[in-house]
């Protein structure tokens, strides 16, 4: 269930909102005059969300390339190259 709070809580209870966001990883929805206005979330949750958006964009791009005739590569070959990169840099 979403955590919804009035905008006055940002002024009066900012620390509790921050603690909630960090402990649960969930956003807090802020209302102004009874309607949705903002969303507050921890930096960690925001960065995770942005990483997922970036991943979905890359997957969509790859699917489009395949639909347009691009040839894929074998998973074993890609995994082997990634392992070589990681172990070569560590």
* Measured distance CA(90)–CA(73) in Å, rounded: 25
For residue 90, pLDDT beyond 50: no
Number of structural domains in the chain: 2
Kindly report the average pLDDT of the chain as a whole number. Answer: 93
pTM above 0.75, yes or no: no
Residue 13, domain CATH: 3.40.1620.10
- Dihedral pair phi/psi, residue 22, rounded to 5°: -75, -40
Residues 29 and 61 in one domain: no
- The CA distance from 56 to 54, in Å, is 5
My answer on whether 49 and 37 are in the same domain is no
* Together in a domain, 52 and 17: no
pLDDT tens digit sequence for 48-84: 999 999 999 999 999 999 899 988 888 899 999 999 8
Residue 72's domain spans which residues?
Answer: 45-89
* Band of residue 89 on the pLDDT scale cut at 50, 70, 90: low
């Amino acid at each position: 269930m979403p955590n919804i709070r009035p905008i006055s809580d940002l002024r009066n209870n900012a620390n509790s909102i921050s603690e909630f966001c960090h402990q649960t990883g969930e956003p807090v929805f802020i209302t102004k005059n009874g309607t949705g206005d903002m969303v507050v979330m921890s930096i960690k949750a925001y960065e995770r969300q942005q990483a997922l958006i970036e991943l979905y964009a890359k997957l969509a791009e790859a699917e489009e390339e395949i639909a347009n005739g691009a040839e894929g590569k074998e998973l074993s070959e890609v995994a082997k190259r990634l392992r070589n990169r990681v172990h070569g840099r560590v």
